[in-house]
Chains A and B, each alone.
Chain A
Amino acid sequence: MRRTTAWICVLACALAFASGCAEVKPWERETLARRDMAWDPDPLASQFRSHIHWSKEGSLPGGEAGGGGCGCN
């Protein structure tokens, strides 16, 4: 069950990347440059929530490397 899930995800990503080399000219970036289209529009909030999830759940946040820990219980 775990493996199937993983494979579906890999395939979905591959498809997204393949179909995705659409004609987006560099000048058509205004939409993507919007703050609400950013990977992280609210860094303080996402940092804080990520920290809470990491302290209170069993997983790593992902998407970054390094940074410290804390003794949160």
Chain B
Amino acid sequence: MRIQRFPFRAMGSPCALHLYAESDARAEAVACRAIAEVARLEGKYTRYRDDSETARINRSAGDPAGVEVDAETAALLDYADTSHRESGGLFDITSGILRRAWDFESRRLPAAHEIAALLDRVGWDRIRWERPRLVLPLEGMQVDFGGLVKEYAADRVAELCRRLGLRHGLVDLGGDLCVVGPHPNGAAWRLGIRDPRSPETACASVALSQGALASSGDYERFMIVDGRRYGHILDPRSGWPVDGLASVSVVAPHCLIAGTASTVAMLKGEEHGPRWLDELGLPSLRITRDGVLTGSLGEREERAA
């Protein structure tokens, strides 16, 4: 049984499937179905297309009748609702519109009234969600599944591979990883965690034979104004960037949970994030802006002196 790698691009990121199957044809057949499933989810939940489910939901903002959603979207909304509650309101799928106030190219801080106007349209508490009906009461409100779909897709694809009979493999959707099964000899997958200060190299490695690994990072987009650093992860309650960690990686049985945990930990910031993660009970790795690594997860790579 040999390993086959299927790279592709989806959800704005480089993705790859690493699969072991009895034959190349089998691996290809499974990979085809898997990539099609990712494409389906991307098409359904993208905010960049008018014909997506997200666009349909957002068009109904301000309509008191709301929209009826299907079982899959309902499950995502239920999950978003649970995450909102368990994170103390930090995980909020209506907070997407806040990014409009922040232009990282311009190096200009938004005015208070700009943020305030957007904040009026933000808040999962304002949403009326009664399965299967979703009501966005105010015009201009939006839901954004971006923080969920990639991880959900990773879980779906891993499960698809298992259902189609594969017992060994790894699903990588832009850094959100879900294990189908360990290497045929039982060995675990060695996964690297990006170094925020030099994202092409890994600063730690994790060995996983089961489960999923997801990471959140704040080093991709940011701006420095008057000596202060403003990252792109925004607190939905204030509309301002969190003063936080550079990256968080979490291991969990499902990618969805790993993803939510890493996102919430980032939102809780440098002070409260690590403590919340430890209470959560999942293995994690936290990297501060200064490059300090904490957390029980992973083996730190030797750094050249």
Residues of A within 8 A of B (CB): 25, 27-28, 30
Contacts and interface: CB of A to CB of B under 8 A. Distances in A.
A27 B159 CA distance: 12
Nearest to A26: B253
B56 interface: no
Nearest to B210: A28
A28 B253 CA distance: 8
Contacts of A28: 253
Contacts of A27: 253-254
B280 to A, nearest CB: 14
Contacts of A30: 162
Nearest to A30: B162
Interface string B233-268: 000000000000000000001100000000000000
Nearest to B254: A27
Contacts of B162: 30
Interface in B11-66: none
A28 B211 CA distance: 10
5 contacts: A25-B253, A27-B253, A27-B254, A28-B253, A30-B162
A44 to B, nearest CB: 23
A27 B178 CA distance: 14
A33 to B, nearest CB: 10
B214 to A, nearest CB: 15
A27 B253 CA distance: 7
B98 to A, nearest CB: 32
A30 B254 CA distance: 12
A18 B253 CA distance: 26
Lowest 4 CB-CB distances: which A-B pairs, in order? A27-B253, A27-B254, A25-B253, A30-B162
